[in-house]
Chain A
Amino acid sequence: MESGVENLESGVGSSVHDATPPGSPGSKRTGDARALRRSLVRLGERSGVPAVLVVLIIVYSLVLPQTFPTARNFSGILTTEDIVILVSLGGMVPLVGGEFDLSIGYVLGFSSMEVAVLTLNHGINVWLASAITVLTAVIIGMVNAFVVLRLHISSFIATLASGTVLSGLVLLISNSMIVTGSFPNSFVRLGFGGPGGIPPGVYIVLAFAVVMLYVLEHVPTGRRLEAIGQGRDAARLAGLRIDRLIFFSLVVSAGVSGLAGVLNTATEGSADPTVGPEFLLPALAAAFLGSTAIRPGRFNVIGTVLSVLLLAIGYNGLSQLGAPQWVSPVFDGCVLIVAVALTRGKVRNA
């Protein structure tokens, strides 16, 4: 399993090496035309996802001029996708370090239920309940890390198991029923309205994406995490503290999923014990799709956010055009395969 990911990455990763940077003295000697072509190829590699995104927006705007290019439609897309973006970014952190967190969907579901139960059934202040919930999620991340690092169980299995346990605990704390009631207005407001017609929840998610961008790409920790993901043995011998980094990544992914759960309850106004697992696959798919763009071969924040939007907008347009429901998942899966295959194909030609 892990080796599969490595292969994917090494394939994608080596695509960066091909050329001298455009404009360097070397490129003049080899001929401007060739250099131009090379830099175009590189641009194409980096900007596959954004380019498709732009094309989709243009095409849908032309085909559906009344309903698609409207502020209302876009704020609607952002409102439904902010939680997916958040979970994708959380799940991406362990992927950067070469580990899987399959419990993110279940942590989301559990947290969504926990905040509802604490607030509605136990009468705790909703913000205090939110804080407790995120803290619980962080503890779940620590447990995951303990199982992976101390019991030496692969993260794939460990988080699959902990996720399964959580799916049972949700039933326990909710009595297997939807928990609903009146949340304070300030809490529910996270999910709708807000400045510019965009709900505060979306701003929270975007702010969080910026923080992630900073931590993963502008702080040494991000570089180290990438190194252990791409070459664990070499990184260990270079003196990197593998255990700390894995601990960090699993705690972040669980904590972020907990936050997403709280946001989900605010948006929905209730907590459903069956919510959660359906977030897992789209979140990981977006992270993988994101790794084909912006910084090909590396999981990255901007690529992941754009990938969530690409898949969402693709679905939005298709459904407005009257495509039946089954089309959307088929579309998502095919996009993922095609994007990864194209990036790898370029490597072979290089």
Chain B
Amino acid sequence: MTLTVTTEPLDSHQLAMTIEVAEERIDQEMRKAARKIAQQVRIPGFRKGRAPFHILLQFVGREAIISEFVDELGQDVYKEALEQEGLEPFYMGSLDNVDTEQAVRFHLTIPLQPEVSLGEYRDLRVEEEEVEADEEEIQERVQAILEQNADYVEADRPSQYGDLMTIDLRGATLDDDGNETGTVVFDEEDWDVTPDQENPMEPAGLDEELVGLSSGEEKSFEIAWPEDSPSMYAGNTVRFSVKVHKTQAFETPPEMTDEIAQNFGPDFETAADLLEDLRDNAQQEAQQRAETEHAQKVLQELVDMSDLAYPPVAVDLEIDRLVRNFDMRVRQMGMQGIEQFLEMSNQTVEDYRESLREDAERSLQIELALVEFAQREKLKVSDEEFEEHIGNVAGPLPEDADEEAEKVHADTLEMMRADHSRPLIDIEILKDKSVKLLLAIARGEDVPEPEADEDESEEDEQSTEENTEQAESSAESDPVDKEAATEAAAAEPADS
């Protein structure tokens, strides 16, 4: 055995591993590397590639020779060490540093397989809250519809700002003595006008005078046109006479009528229909929200009650996934990719990644718990379920589909059935099933124990016990690190 491996568990569900490579092996490697280097280096007194090993060693130095093969050696040694220790890491170990001073030692940090021990999830109960559609919300929606239907309605009251008034208006400038000069500023009949406080008409004060008039009322008043007005009448005093024909107020209908309902959509006959529909919708939405919330809560409970141990790199991978998804969405929006988006929002990629960390951690925890759950419950995806799922994803074949559309449809299905995508889809389905089952448990439904539960689960337990025993005995026979071996036995094979 050419490797001496020592491992030491770290807090973060990782192993610190030191691999010391035996001297003979290093020697061999060095000679191999030296032959390679010798071809390139000119050493005075020797033809290329002819210098004896120790001359070369002196000439280029031990470090240089080692660095020639250390990367490759590291790869090989890493694999061998894992094999030797019976470890199945969750992800590539990271090389912290290489010690070459005397012996060659690789210091690595190896992320371990996540370990999940679910709590008593079958006792998990989360009250599903009864939800009622929020009455206020319904009212708001009704109000919104009513406002859409708002219109000018004749008002039997003195005019106000915002009303639509139909008036006759005549205005003429006055001379200094107060007599009309004959210059007519306004002469309008049946003029529709809306007195407005915010954006008054020229001359200032006219709107004000129009307010407070009843239908049929006549009024005459004088307004001094301001000096600084750009108008040609600036500085003049104008006498107006006004006759109000009618005043219309912009009013929202006070309540739902059949007419409004019919206007709203062809499906509604009466106001009651529309109200009911709104209520149903609101109820459904509230229900859905509650369900999502409930599911989240259940999942969170499952996570909380379980012991999850995973290396930090798992979170990073999850973040990677989120970032990739986001990148795809950004690209779909027509941007260059995530860099451009982040530039626009003045973030660095690191900031953004950091901001995702919490979400990533949560979703990772849920994911881990669910996978374990599915295993404990022996959930499997049957071929029928798979076909149904991909059928749903691909959508139904339209009735009038021509040959080409049919082909595309078939291709899509075929693609999903392919070996490389099937496992991914299976995982999706499995996740759905797990969540459903978990929710059923949380609701307190009588969920049958996994099939053939009685003997199989016991057997299962026995076999895991055996495994542990084996692992322990093997750990004893190979007294490098007992703990590492046990952990390895508990860990699942990596798919990385």
- Do A and B actually bind? no
